[in-house]
Amino acid sequence: VSAETQTAQVSVTVDIAPELQNRFQTNDTLFIYAKAASGPPMPLAAVRQPASGFPVKVVLDDSHAMMPSLKLSNFQQVVVGARISKGGDVRAQSGDLETLSAPLAIDNGPVSIQLTVDQVVP
């Protein structure tokens, strides 16, 4: 493992917009993920956990890769998202809560981002 592949790391802090605090249960599922800013639509890295204890902090890196051939370290820019799923499904469903970042450069070492879940999936 080269030093270059170890630098693809995104520290993510996720919080909930005040107006959505009562729109989910603590047994709902929180997905935090990063996908290529331009490229394959599937997440490059993802974490799944209960939707509780906000603000939640996680670090996404190559150890969270969904597929060995698609890793954070293979891309220069990603978008980071968070979704609270009522049914625990990876795919967005109507009524889920979510947010998505602007493209984020990850090729110059570890980065940090704060996300606020503030949208309801139509």
Beta bridge partners of 37: none
Contact 74, 37 (CB under 8 A): no
What integer is the mean pLDDT of 70-78?
93
pLDDT tens digits for 20-31? 999 999 899 999
Mean pLDDT along residues 32-43: 92
CA 46, CA 71: separation in Å to the nearest integer?
11
Output the pLDDT for position 6: 52
Closest CA to 51 of 22, 80, 8, 74: 22
pLDDT of residue 40: 86
> Distance (Å, rounded) from C-alpha 15 to C-alpha 53?
9
> Under a CB-based contact definition with an 8 Å cutoff, are residues 42 and 56 in contact?
no
**Structure confidence at residue 102 (pLDDT):** 96
The pTM assigned to this predicted structure is 0.91
Q: What is the mean pLDDT of the chain?
A: 92
